[in-house]
Amino acid sequence: MTPPVDPAIARAVPSAATRSDPAPAAAAAKAPVTRADFDRLMVPCYAPAPFVPVRGEGSRVWDQQGRMYIDFASGVAVTALGHCHPAMVRALDEQARTLWHVSNWFTNEPALRLAQRLVGATFAERVFFCNSGAEANEAALKLARRYAHDRHGPHKVRVISTLNAFHGRTLFTVTAGGQAKYSQGFGPSPAGITHIPYNDVAALEAAFRDEGGDDICAVILEPMQGEGGMTPGTPAFLQAARRLCSGHRALLILDEIQSGMGRTGALFSYMQKGIVPDILTTAKGLGGGFPIGAMLTTDEIASVFSVGVHGTTYGGNPLACAVAGAVFDAINTIEVLDGVKARHALFVEGLKAINVRRRVFRDIRGEGVWIGCELDDPWRGKAFAVMQAASDAGLLVLMAGPDVVRLAPSLVISLDEILEGLARLETALRRALDQGS
């Protein structure tokens, strides 16, 4: 029998059931805030739009003034099922009433169920959960280094990446990324990373010829470069990467942080490319807006990560995994994946029609609901101006470098919203590029 508690102590330790919300905290939660508070309070590493979104439903977002925007951005290719999808709300609500967090000293059911789904649907046999894309890539690069070290020796450390790639903002991933503007001033950077031009098979072969390629532990690639300009990987380049990795005992890491979870019309883009990676990373669409990342790999490769060599407090958090499970079930269906391909055709048709009228794009490219519109010569450098004019016209779009307007809507955006959004895009192009009426 537990001994009785001293009544004085019992009075000083109220039970959870009798605890109420402290009034000052509730008041602070409702205090009015404006965009100007961002400039006063936040570390200035972002320059958000002048309005503050407060509510979203499907592919529509409303700001503090009640203005509605059609969402062709989905965060940055994150809210794959739109805002507040009922299946996600249900999963989050149920999990929020059940179990929030236990740490990795325990496992939990939502994490195990999500791992089962990912393993069941892909090449992978093992999963590592984390909180973001950068963290998934960090894990992938560390795993590749560790695998080469343990299996082949300490000399095998070199990572081949591509210029213009984007793999995240940790020091390792930002260095792998190959866009100097993101890594300058943070040195010394991790060593042993070589960058070659994307889609350049000869340069890739040459990189493997140096030192006989024996020092290369991994090649890391996006199947289509997103942030770097919406450049699809050519089949020849992706297949050369696979062949050279296999021939030199190096691992192929595919970064599907942005391309994965249905965005290109397949669950993962590699399924459309005729190659299978050794390690795959995913995030963004995986949680549909709830932060989560994952690294997928084989039994053999995963086996070099023994207990304690890598980890993260929130990896496999039950809330994140419950939501991601609901996202996975909604996306991994023929209807949704085929629907992505049908929407692609509709977007391209609409964008081409705009281009016939306005002649603003030199190229319209991409896969699924992930489309880059490269501005033609007179308008180069104006992607940001288009993005701003779009929000003035009630449309959220993205850019991918200074010359490319990027569209990454929800995978299930409605036909009407696509048409309405394209009309708003045409208004924005006219205004931003000063084209009269």
Ligand X SMILES: Cc1ncc(COP(=O)(O)O)c(C=O)c1O
Pick the closer one to ligand X by CB: 128 or 208: 128
3-state secondary structure of 276: coil
Find the shortest distance in angstroms from Cβ 286 to ligand X: 10
Q: Which helix (H) or strand (E) is 119 found in, with range? A: helix 109-121
Q: Pairing state of beta strands 370-375 and 361-367?
A: antiparallel
* Shortest distance, position 222 Cβ to ligand X, whole Å: 5
Count of CB atoms situated within 10 Å of the CB of 420: 16
Q: Which is nearer to ligand X, 122 or 269 (CB)?
A: 269
Nearest distance from residue 246's CB to ligand X, in Å?
A: 23
Edge-to-edge strands, sheet with 361-367: 361-367, 370-375, 404-407, 398-399
CB of 76 or CB of 121, closer to ligand X = 76
Cα distance between residue 152 and residue 146, in whole Å: 10
Whether residue 79 contacts residue 324, with contact meaning beta carbons closer than 8 Å, is answered with no
CA distances from 61 to 54, 57, 72, 73 (A): 8, 6, 10, 11
Q: How far is the CB of 134 from ligand X (least distance, A)?
A: 3
- The answer to whether 224 touches 233, Cβ cutoff 8 Å, is yes
- Shortest Cβ 321–ligand X spacing (Å): 16
Nearer to ligand X, 295 or 301 (CB): 295
Separation in Å, CA 104 to CA 133, 318, 399: 19, 11, 38
Q: Residue with CB nearest ligand X? A: 133
CA-to-CA distance for 212 and 357, rounded, in angstroms?
Answer: 53
Kindly tell me which of 410 and 422 has the beta carbon lying closer to ligand X: 410
The least CB distance from residue 20 to ligand X, in Å, is 37
**Which tokens is 190 given?**
């991790």
The phi and psi torsions of 352 (rounded to 5 degrees) equal -65, -40
Which positions lie near ligand X, rule CB under 6 A? 76, 132-134, 137, 166-168, 222, 226-227, 255, 257-258, 283
Q: How far is the CB of 168 from ligand X (least distance, A)?
A: 4
Q: Shortest gap between Cβ of 142 and ligand X (angstroms)? A: 15
Q: Give the start-end residues of each E strand in 203-359.
A: 216-221, 224-225, 231-232, 251-255, 279-282, 293-297
Angle between helices 318-331 and 109-121 (to 10 degrees): 30
Of the two residues 242 and 284, which places its CB atom closer to ligand X in the complex? 284
Least spacing, CB of residue 395 vs ligand X, in Å: 21
Q: Minimum Å distance from CB 283 to ligand X?
A: 5
Question: CB-wise, 167 or 343, nearer to ligand X?
Answer: 167
Single out the residue of 385, 357, 386, 362 nearest to residue 373, CA to CA. 362
E strands within 50-134?
53-57, 60-63, 68-71, 126-130
User: What Rg value do the Cα atoms of the chain yield, rounded?
Assistant: 24
Close Cβ partners of 362 (under 8 Å, ≥ 6 residues apart): 374, 375, 376, 377
Query: Least distance (Å) from ligand X to the CB of residue 25?
Result: 30
Name which of 77 and 337 has its Cβ closer to ligand X.
Answer: 77
Residue number, 168 or 213, with CB nearest to ligand X: 168
| CB-nearer residue toward ligand X: 270 or 379 | 270
Tokens 């894990």, located at residue: 139
Q: Contact at 8 Å (CB) between 414 and 58?
A: yes
Nearer to ligand X, 92 or 398 (CB): 398
